[in-house]
Chains A and B, each alone.
Chain A
Amino acid sequence: MSVLKRMYRGETDFDFVGAAQKTLIVSAVLVVLSLVLLVSRPLNLSIDFTGGTVVVAVNETDATVEQVRAAMSDIGLAGARVQLTGEGFIRVQTEALEAGPQDEMIAAVGGVAGVSVNEVTVSAVGPSFGEEVRNAALLALGIFLLVVSLYITWRFEWKMALAALAALFHDLIITGGIFAAFQFVVSPATVIAVLTIMGYSLYDTVVVFDKVNENVEHMQDRYNYTEIVNTSMNEVLMRSINTSLTSLLPVGSLLIIGSLAFGAETLREFALALFVGISLGTYSSIFVATPLLARWKEREEEWERARRRVDRRRATGQMEREPVAAVAVADDSVMTEEPAAQAPTAPPAGSGATGAMPRPPKKRKKRR
């Protein structure tokens, strides 16, 4: 059976925690690289944050917003904000420009408005998304992270809260790194995209952790923590893939249309931040948050004892079962070995991840 088919049937048995030894290194390298990039090439902030220049001219030609924006695109100022005022003025706002490009812009605005360069006024504008807005947003974020940590600690445990935060920062830093590397413009819309990513990343991690906790309850006698984590992740794998696919399809079409369609630059950068962030959010729940948690929990005394107990039982043949993650499922094993579930001490081998917790036969008879 092909891997895809097994995935569709929910019968995969990938060793996520084992693979994470490599992926965690990749993630760590990417995070460090992003941090270096963020320091060495500061983010390209939009005029909403930095302020800039505003150019105003009388609109003699009755130019439309689209026409003015086209003229701005031609001189490489696609991000300029163009407005027409009720009194017949064209108003174009851009980031602060050097003398040369500024003259070019004045000429372009004058050209499209049909007035001479002398009749175009230029002045400086301050940021509309100033320090206070930024500080308020940062304060909100800080308190949010604290409250979410408390919530996860309350519902699950504090180690899960820390692992979830690690995954969150992983996603945010790498997204920031990509924006720094390519010098994409960071606008208030991008900030909102980042907030969406945060929510998504946490939501995704919570869903995976919920599964892990649920499985711990009925698997802890027979399996060690790493195995339980692997089983859980195989169980939620299709859910994770489907959810990220259904999130990425609309964002992807936004990205493509934003890149193709004229005048949708705002859309493009917003969609890009979302696309990268959602992909990372799914990836990090599986390859960062949960493996980190597994390693950490394995060091706990209780789980170390559990591991030894499980190993001992397997060695003495009480439990003829290999660790879930390590065994390769025979293609046809699912059906043929299912009746073995009658013997509670010997669960069926390799019925895939979902088969790892067969229900006791008693229960089934009851229903029939």
Chain B
Amino acid sequence: MLITLLLTLLIAFGSFAAMLLAGWAPKLGLDLQGGFAVVLVSPEGTDEDTLDTAVEVMRRRVEELGAVQEPEIFVEGDRRIVVQLPGVEDRERALRAVGTTGEMSFRAVIDIVPESPYFTNPDGDHPPNINPETGLSDPDDVNEVGYLEAEDSFAIYVVSPAFLTGVDMEGGDAQFSSSTSHGGGAGGWIVIPGFTSEGGEKFRNATGTLATFSVGSPQRQLAIVVDGVVQSAPAVAQDVNPAEGLDPDQVVITIGISENPQQEAEDLAAILKYGALPTTFERERVESISASLGEDSLRAGLIAGLIGLVLVAIYMILYYRVLGVVAVGGLIVFGAFLVGALVLLGETQGTTLTLAGVTGIIVSIGITLDSSIVYFERIKEEYHAGRPLRPAVDHAFPGAFSTNLKGDTVTLLAALLLWVLAIGPVKGFALTLGLATVIDVVVAWFYTRSATWLLAHSRMLDGGWFSIRGAMARGPDEPAHEDLVAVDA
């Protein structure tokens, strides 16, 4: 028991101290710390519904980036969307997530050329969406022939109008592929797109057509285009039957040479998952923003928490004497674990703590103490029912723990479901709640049980007002039950 207790304390405070030494602190949310805002402008005359859809797509993409970032995204005026994000890390990535249209198309390759014919012949006639300076399609129109650059080569792809677009797709999954069969060289990050049943059919037909071209011809290649850039252009394999085409389940998009191919694959998967933005946005400006609550609110919250904590400690110690000290100690262990977990999540997942989160932790004080209270009341009950004190301490724990476990299961269920299903601030709450519940069980089992057991086997079992017996609500003038039982025996 002593070892369990010491180990628990060591892990709790050791990890806490390590975090302090490493200079890690919980990441604060937009309301407490500020962050940055990007203002995006849609084309003139964009209707309200389109903007609302865009806000939702952006929100889901940002949430896909990290565990909880709690962005604030809203429509401002007639055609602007403001995205406010906490912190400054990974700013570029977040900007890409909200700003990328994410329009995806599958096109047949017509030709692969070193330069666009419009670039080599700048004075000739060209379609209106061709940029005369580069000779490339700008913007790319999926219903027209496109002149596009490629992600991982310097060649220019001339591609047909799209036979498949984002509406034919659903979902997307980033994976690491170690095989070379996808044409990705010595393995690398790939994205596996999902097709609707109609999209799958279109895909079979189109690849069947491509398979009729001779092997080695560029026209056997299939260009996968995201936002006007050819991501990859695999050729249809030699053994594909033109009558059947390719199985859409086998399609992968390889990620080209990049600084962080994993991140790129994940970002692309997120974009595929939540669909393209309904319109293109231009980035009007990016600016930093201050916290909206400022330090006074945070300070007020922390002071309130501290006062509450002191009051609770006084009450618990007056009521449960030395057991109250155990309970308050449990609260401190709980706090160390919780802060440690939040810091870790902040560092790895970008989880942020808003004012609501801070107050949520303050609220969890009482709920955490409940596991101790249920235990102590049960010791009292067993003792009053005639069990000697020390066995009562041992015997009360399993029952009390099972009660706590049932209650905590309900809470954990709530947290898990909210985490999976909800979006926005509710998701952040679910995370804190779930963490607190799990830590509560851990503290009850490893800390409270062993600390109480040790006390029951020390002088604190029976030593006046402050002892465990002192907390059992019987004055010295009243003989304890076991004395009577001794007579019986």
Contact = CB atoms under 8 A, between A and B. Distances in A.
Interface of A: 8-11, 51, 54, 64-66, 69, 81-87, 89, 91, 123-133, 136-137, 139-140, 143-144, 147-148, 151-152, 155, 188-189, 191-192, 195-196, 198-200, 202-204, 206-207, 210-211, 214, 235-236, 238-239, 242-254, 256-258, 261-264, 266-267, 270-271, 274, 278, 335, 338-339, 341-342, 354-355, 357-359, 361, 364-365, 367-368
Given A128-B72, A206-B410, A359 B386 contact: yes
B297 interface: yes
A143 B421 contact: yes
> Interface residues of B: mostly helix, strand, loop or mixed?
helix
Nearest to B294: A65
A203 B403 CA distance: 10
Given A9-B384, A147-B417, 19 more contacts: A10-B380, A10-B381, A10-B384, A66-B296, A83-B292, A84-B289, A86-B36, A87-B285, A125-B77, A133-B426, A136-B423, A140-B421, A195-B414, A204-B407, A246-B315, A261-B300, A267-B297, A354-B384, A365-B489
B343 to A, nearest CB: 21
8 closest Cβ pairs, A-B complex:
A247-B366, A250-B308, A86-B288, A126-B75, A140-B421, A84-B290, A261-B300, A257-B304
B289 A192 contact: no
Contact of B385 (A203, A238, A359): A359
Contacts of A253: 304-305, 307-308, 311
Interface residues on B, range: 35 or more
A65 B304 CA distance: 22
Contact of A196 (B34, B363, B478): B363
Contacts of A127: 74
Given A203-B407, A263-B296, A355 B385 contact: yes
B438 to A, nearest CB: 14
A254 B52 contact: no
B218 to A, nearest CB: 43
Contacts of A257: 300-301, 303-304, 307
B62 to A, nearest CB: 12
Contact of B399 (A66, A189, A196, A214): A214
Given A203-B407, A247-B367, A367 B292 contact: no
Interface string B47-70: 000011001100100000000000
5 contacts: A140-B417, A199-B410, A210-B407, A239-B377, A355-B384
A147 B384 CA distance: 38
Given A246-B315, A250-B362, A188 B356 contact: yes
Contacts of B370: 203, 207, 239, 243, 246-247
